[in-house]
Amino acid sequence: MNHAKTNKDQSGKAGESFLSTKDIPPRERLIFALDVSSIDEAKALVEQLDDSVMFYKLGLQLFMAGGYFEFIEWLRERGKIVFVDLKFFDVPQTVKSAVMQLKNRGVYFVTVHGNDKILEAAVEHKNGLKILAVTVLTSLDESDLKDLGFQCNVEELVYSRAKRALKIGCDGVISSGLEAPRLRRDIGEQFLIVAPGIRPVKNVDDQKRTVDVKKAFLNGADYIVVGRPIREAKDPHKAAEDIQKMIGSLFIR
Ligand code: C5P
């Protein structure tokens, strides 16, 4: 399937654009990675961000703070959408049980890592949750993959993992915006692509496979995950609003 539209000088390769046509409210396309170490800090940040962020990703750091599920409820009471990013990776039975624990928690996305059996176990008991398969962490580049024993390039590994995950019944994948065009070109437009590793400005941290907001969407992302560029900004609310403005200009309704 080829869903590419010509769009000179805006997309990944050869002037292609894979802008999402899914019915997602534009302001929900920005997912903020709430990577802080206490629930109090998290609540203060959510209050500060107010309507500039509708969708929150809660990762390992916040999980280890304690009070994770009460905090999910707190967010839900405020109309926020919740992404549980704990990257479940264990024997299939354990992953299945972990996914089942999220039943009726009002969670939208959960991430799972691993081989076919692990993904199958997660999908089997998803109960309305959307399962996102982690492909290759955006902090890893080709030489890191070599160190881990993979003899293929990043794009091939992302593609083969995504293809398998979707066949198994996952709702989408986590992929850097760099590999998204290949996924759209060769797998299609139905499944979800959630792209972390977004750097609105020059990158100075551990993320290696980064793109900016506009490029991530033109390359086919349905959602972007942004953490530090908002959290570490002088004015996080303004940083998030600036990203929302960019998203709004791409997805005019
Ligand atoms: O701060 P930054 O914008 O790099 O945040 C990226 C977030 O996305 C982090 O919470 C990280 O755990 C997450 N993530 C990632 N790469 C993946 C999956 C999740 O960077 N493949």
Domains and CATH numbers, the chain: 26-250 (3.20.20.70)
Closest atom of ligand 1 relative to the 138 alpha carbon: 16
- Confidence (pLDDT) at 14: 58
* pLDDT for residue 252: 86
Indicate whether this model's pTM tops 0.95. Answer: no
Give the contacts of 45 (CB within 8 A, at least 6 positions apart).
Answer: 34, 36, 231, 236
Of all atoms in ligand 1, which is nearest to the CA of residue 205? 4
Q: Give the residue, out of 57, 225, 228, 231, with the most ligand 1 atoms within 8 A of its beta carbon, to mutate for a pocket test.
A: 225
SS3 (DSSP) at 119: helix
Pick out the chain residues at pLDDT < 50.
Answer: 1-11
User: Helices (DSSP H) in the chain: which residue ranges?
Assistant: 39-49, 60-63, 68-77, 92-100, 116-124, 142-147, 154-168, 180-187, 213-218, 228-231, 236-250
> SS3 breakdown of the chain: % helix, strand, coil, rounded to 5?
40, 15, 45
> What is the maximum span of the chain, computed from C-alpha positions, in angstroms?
48
Q: Is the CB–ligand 1 distance for residue 11 below 6 Å?
A: no
Q: What is the mean pLDDT of the chain?
A: 90
Q: Which residues are catalytic?
A: 87
Q: What is the pLDDT of residues 223-250, one digit of tens each?
A: 999 999 999 999 999 999 999 999 999 9
* pLDDT attached to residue 140: 83
* Rounded Cα distance, 67 and 233, in Å: 26
The pLDDT value recorded for residue 137 is 81
- pLDDT of 196 reads 93
Rounded Cα distance between 3 and 202, Å, is: 30
